[in-house]
């Protein structure tokens, strides 16, 4: 089966069969649906297609504060946790912020290390490993210089 390049491009971009048929003036059932099947692409899921990555959405919903931290202006889970929906999943804003700052997925829970409730600034986020490392540094500092009274 020969598939038109414009149909392939729109299918790979995530458009629905109906939208492609309207845009290109072709039959949805006879042209677009068979092309989708021939390419092995799943059926289109209704609803808006997320633009970009979770990191892109993070920057649209995190608002800087005057004191160098960031507050969340977007979606919150039932538990009040800042989050964002992307690709059919819910990502917590703190985990996305941690990935932005550290270039890796966090291990364990992610919490702001700055002590400010609700802060989602990437530089403030800590995971289990970074908190354990900080405790080691604090213990070493205390061993060298003594603990504060």
Query: In the block, which residue shows the tokens 């979770």?
Result: 54
Predicted local distance difference test score (pLDDT) of residue 11: 87
Please tell me the predicted confidence (pLDDT) of residue 64: 92
Residues 77 and 106 in one domain: yes
The residue among 83, 13, 74 whose CA lies nearest residue 49 is 13
Same domain as 76, residue 33: no
Q: Does the reported pTM lie above 0.85?
A: no
**In this structure, are 35 and 64 located in the same domain?**
no
CA distance 134 to 56: 29
List pLDDT tens digits, range 69-112. Answer: 999 998 888 888 899 888 778 899 999 999 999 999 999 999 99
Residue 30 shares a structural domain with residue 100: no
| pLDDT of the residue at 48 | 61
Does 77 share its domain with 132? Answer: yes
Q: What φ, ψ does residue 64 adopt, rounded to 5°? A: -65, 145
Backbone angles phi, psi at 26, to 5 degrees: -115, 170
Sign of the C-alpha dihedral, residues 31, 34, 40, 45? positive
Model pLDDT for residues 50-69, shown as the tens digit of each residue: 567 889 889 989 999 999 89
């Amino acid at each position: 089966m020969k598939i038109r390049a414009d149909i392939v491009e729109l299918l790979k971009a995530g458009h629905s069969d109906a939208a492609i048929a309207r845009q290109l003036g072709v039959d949805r059932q006879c042209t677009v649906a068979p092309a989708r099947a021939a390419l092995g692409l799943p059926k289109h899921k209704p609803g808006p297609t997320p633009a970009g990555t979770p990191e892109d959405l993070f920057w649209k919903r995190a608002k800087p504060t005057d004191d160098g931290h960031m507050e969340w202006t977007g979606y919150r889970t039932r538990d009040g946790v800042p989050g964002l929906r992307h690709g059919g999943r819910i990502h917590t804003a703190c985990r996305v912020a941690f990935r932005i700052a550290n270039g890796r997925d966090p291990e364990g829970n992610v919490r702001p290390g700055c002590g400010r409730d609700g802060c989602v600034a990437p530089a403030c986020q800590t995971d289990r490993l970074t908190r354990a490392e900080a405790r080691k540094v604090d213990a070493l500092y205390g061993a060298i210089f003594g603990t504060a009274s």
